[in-house]
Each structure stands twice: as C-alpha cells, then as structure tokens.
Amino acid sequence: MQPQDIRLRTSQALAGFFLSLAAEGRSSRTLRDYHYCSRMLTTWLKAQGQDDPPVAGLDTETLRRFFADLRRRQPRLSAKTVRNTHTALRSFWSWLGRELGLPHVLKGAITAPRANPPAFTLPTREQIESVLQACDWTRPATSQRRKSYRTRRPTARRDRAIIMTLVDTGVRAQELCDLAMCDLDMASGAIVVRHGKGDKSRIVYAGKAVRRAIWRYLATERPDARPGEPLFAERCGRPLTQTALSHLVMQLGRRAGVKVWPHLLRHVFATQYLRGGGSTLALKRLMGHVSETMLERYVELAECDLQRAHETASPADRWRL
C-alpha cells in the first residue's frame, strides 16, 4: 500500500497503534500516558477545524503548530508533559512508518523539548525520623475528663515499613504498590520489581533495618499472608493504590511538619546512595530508567553535601595551619 493511497482516519490509526502497544505488553501506565497525549493532539486538531482528518495528511508543519500552541497553553503545561507528548507522538509515527509506510513527521524535524529536572529540597535525616515517628501515634486528643493523650495508629508498623522501603530502595510509588509477598527475599533483602517503567523488571535491595520493619509488620498484622498477596496491603487486604500511597505519605509528612511525597523519597535514596559511596552505574541499575540529566543532578546534590562537610571538618582550617 502506497502512503498517498491511505485514507485511514487519525482515530482509526490511533486505535491500531494502541492495540499494537497492548499486544507488545506495554504497561498500563504507558498506555494511559500515551492516550492522554494523543487526546491533546486530537482535541487541538478539532479546534483547528480538522475533526478526525486522514492521518496521512498530518505533516511536519501541522505538528510544529501543535507543539507551539502547547507551549502557549494556559494553564501552562510543564516541560515534562510537553516532552512526554513528543515521545508519544514520535512512537506513533514510528509505528505508522512500519505499518503503513508513512514518513516520520517528527524525527529530525521537531526536536524533543528539554525537560529540566524539577527543583526540590530534600528532607534531612531528622525530618525523615520525624515522619517515621508520625507513623506510630495519633495526634494528641483531649477531653473534659482526662488530660491530653495519644493512641497507637492501627497501621503504624505497615506505614513505618513503607516509608523505610521507599527511602532504602528508591522504588517508585506504583512499583511499591505492585510488590507481592513472593517478590521479597527476607534473607538477602533482594526485591524483584516486576513491573518497572516500560514494564521492565529489575532487582533492588532492602537493608537489615528495612527487613526488620517489614518482618514486624507481617508477623504482627499479616501472619497468614500468602506468597501471591500484596506485600503492603490495605487493612481490608486489597493492594495499596498509588493514590492511597501518595495520600498516606503526604499526610504523615504534614503531621511531622515535613513536605514529602513518595517520589521525593526516591530522590532521597539516590543522593544518600551516592553520598554513602555507591557508584553511578549501580545507582542507574537499582533505580531503573534514570536519565543522564537526572543522574547528573543527583551527583551534584551529593557533591554539594560533601563540600559542606569538608568546610566544617577541614583539618587545615580547624587547626588554623
């Protein structure tokens, strides 16, 4: 079939593209993100008076105007969202080339927007300890009959184990939610992440303190848990959702007076790993799919910490040589 003879509508082409992605075993998150990006394109086309045009009629100039409008959109889209949209559409046109012989209208013509790493301030050791303490007890309560008192939170051991696992392994929020009992080797600390970014698997490791925390949680709250059940579960036994996990971590942070969320703890792991002497190569393998830009940011953060430490502990300066 020659490209100029193709009358396939954009919606039909997208349906075939997503069917192909599902057949390849792409993760549900990837499919959801690509759907979101494709809807931005089709919505924009409709606003331009092109309601479901033939996909062969979409050229480089059309996509240039689309990305230019994305950058001017209000409320403003993040650079990462624009870059993700470029990635999704680039994949779509690569598929069109393989399946239908259409020319690639993005490759070599529209450069992927640069997405700078987000600015963030990492919590200190003392702040992480405060979050862990917030796992244990409820807020102080008072009544007319008794003094202020606190009670132990029913999910204290689970929540402490969750925070420590995020800090010590660098797993993403959804990766932690997907963990099953059988994915953890308590003896070695090896944890199999079966559905990482891009649906790729990898192995991460939990230290002794984390394994003790997980053991306490399972031994006291879920002694009969089976291998296929979630490692971290709701009180009803269902797996934690990413939304519930994010809400939990942020709520604990608010109670501790610390602004924190699951992905920030991934950043904590990366920088502390480097500060502890870990190599960048090992860090990339443990975290899975870390961009060079983000890796450079972790190295920069780690080196800044070493600089401050040397300024404080410099022998020549302290001895006033």
Out of 94-98, 139-143, 151-155, 289-293, least confident range? 139-143
For 125-281, list the strands marked E by DSSP. 190-193, 202-205
| 279 and 154 part of one domain | yes
Burial of 313 by CB count in 10 Å (0-12 exposed, 13-18 middle, 19+ buried)? exposed
Q: Which domain holds residue 21?
A: 3-100
Number of domains the chain contains: 2
- Asked whether residue 130 is domain-assigned, the answer is yes
- Cis before residue 75, ω within 30 degrees of 0? yes
pLDDT per residue as tens digits for the range 272-300? 999 888 888 899 999 987 777 788 888 88
Give the model's pLDDT for residue 1. Answer: 45
Give the model's pLDDT for residue 111. Answer: 85
Mean pLDDT of the chain: 88
| 74 and 7 part of one domain | yes
- Asked whether residue 223 is domain-assigned, the answer is yes
Confidence of residue 74 (pLDDT cuts 50, 70, 90): confident
**Residue 151 and residue 143: Cα distance in Å, rounded?**
14
The domain boundary, picked from 100, 117, 139, lies at: 100
| 172 and 271 part of one domain | yes
Give the model's pLDDT for residue 317. Answer: 63
Give the model's pLDDT for residue 55. Answer: 94
Average pLDDT over residues 41-46: 96
* One-letter amino acid for residue 32 of the chain: R
pTM assigned to the model: 0.73
| 156 and 292 part of one domain | yes
Position with higher pLDDT, 202 vs 311: 202
| 177 and 43 part of one domain | no
The three-point CA angle 126-128-133 to 5° equals 95
- Asked whether residue 321 is domain-assigned, the answer is no
pLDDT per residue as tens digits for the range 236-279? 889 999 999 999 999 999 999 999 999 999 999 999 999 888 88
- Asked whether residue 68 is domain-assigned, the answer is yes
Q: 26-38: buried (b, 16+ CB within 10 Å) or exposed (e) per residue? A: bbeebeebbeebb
| 191 and 275 part of one domain | yes
Provide the CATH number for the domain around residue 96: 1.10.150
| 130 and 91 part of one domain | no
Give the model's pLDDT for residue 73. Answer: 87
Give the model's pLDDT for residue 106. Answer: 92
Provide the CATH number for the domain around residue 158: 1.10.443.10
